Amino acid sequence: MSELLTVSGASFVVAVVAMAITAGVARRVDRVSVVDVTWGVGLTVISVVCAVLGTSDTGWLPWLMVLLVAVWGLRLSWHIWQRSRGHGEDPRYAELLAPHSPDADRSAWFAAAVRKVFVIQGVALWFVAWPLQAAAVGTVEVVALVWIGVVLWAVGFVFETVGDWQLAQFKTDPSRRGTVLDTGLWRYTRHPNYFGDAAVWAGLFLVAADSWPGVLTVLSPALMIWTLAGKTGKPLTEKAMSARPGYKEYIESTSGFLPRPPKRRAGRH
């Protein structure tokens, strides 16, 4: 138990430092959405710290976690940074922090950002990293469960990566501006990137759940899935897209989260 507390405490320190640095950057650029870039990098650093401090009898398990988290996290952070570069504040954060804005009252805006974004995201970063902490001190009891988790991680990584790429390609086509992406993976789920993210963390949980401490970390992927599917991911994205022509029909025919074949739209044969 003491080993787990050590790893968990170190992970918490990393989360605090990561959010403190991010808050400083956000204040400098007047944009809270930089926190989205921190997630992938922050979890990668936490995975390395867990592996270095860990006492797992199976030395390769924490480093497997490092590999999986780094591949997922660094790609995600790079993608978000590239996507947001040159743009203003994400509308989700602007709405969250209203009526404060850096142009009106910078101090009040930053205080609200610390309270509503950086503190909460820091705690969430540490909480979501529980499987990494457990894997660092656990032992492999059922190797098959580890590899099932890796397969689920791979499915999620493909959905998230390909979904992001398809959306980026769609946005670069001027003829598709104002329309709805309903091809590729987006034909089977309205949110392949969010589903992929959820599958990645469900897979990491299964890798950690091979040993007893890891079983207790089930709330980590549960929080991630709830956030993506029910709180900030899917609901806010669909709210922003609701006025777009054809989106209502898209909702009626396409799964909201879990991939499945689309329903036939009325009028189509």
In the numeric block, which tokens belong to residue 74? 């660094």
Write phi, then psi, for 261 (nearest 5 degrees). Answer: -60, 140
In sequence order, the 6+-apart residues with CB closer than 8 A to the CB of 66 are 44, 47, 48, 51
In this structure, are residues 18 and 122 in contact, taking their beta carbons and an 8 Å threshold? Answer: yes
In the numeric block, which tokens belong to residue 67? 């590999």
pLDDT tens for the chain, residues 1 to 269: 788 899 999 999 999 999 999 999 999 999 999 999 999 999 999 999 999 998 777 778 899 999 999 999 999 999 999 988 888 888 888 888 889 888 888 899 999 999 999 999 999 999 999 999 999 988 887 889 999 999 999 999 999 999 999 999 999 988 888 889 999 999 999 999 999 999 999 999 999 998 777 888 999 999 989 988 888 788 888 888 888 888 999 999 999 999 999 987 554 44
CA dist 243 and 245 (Å) reads 6
3-state SS class at 15: helix
Q: What is the pTM of this model?
A: 0.90
pLDDT (0 to 100) of residue 266: 52
pLDDT (0 to 100) of residue 175: 87
3-state SS class at 195: helix
Bond preceding residue 235 cis, omega within 30 of 0: no
pLDDT (0 to 100) of residue 265: 58
Q: Directed axis angle between helix 219-226 and helix 130-137, to 10°?
A: 160
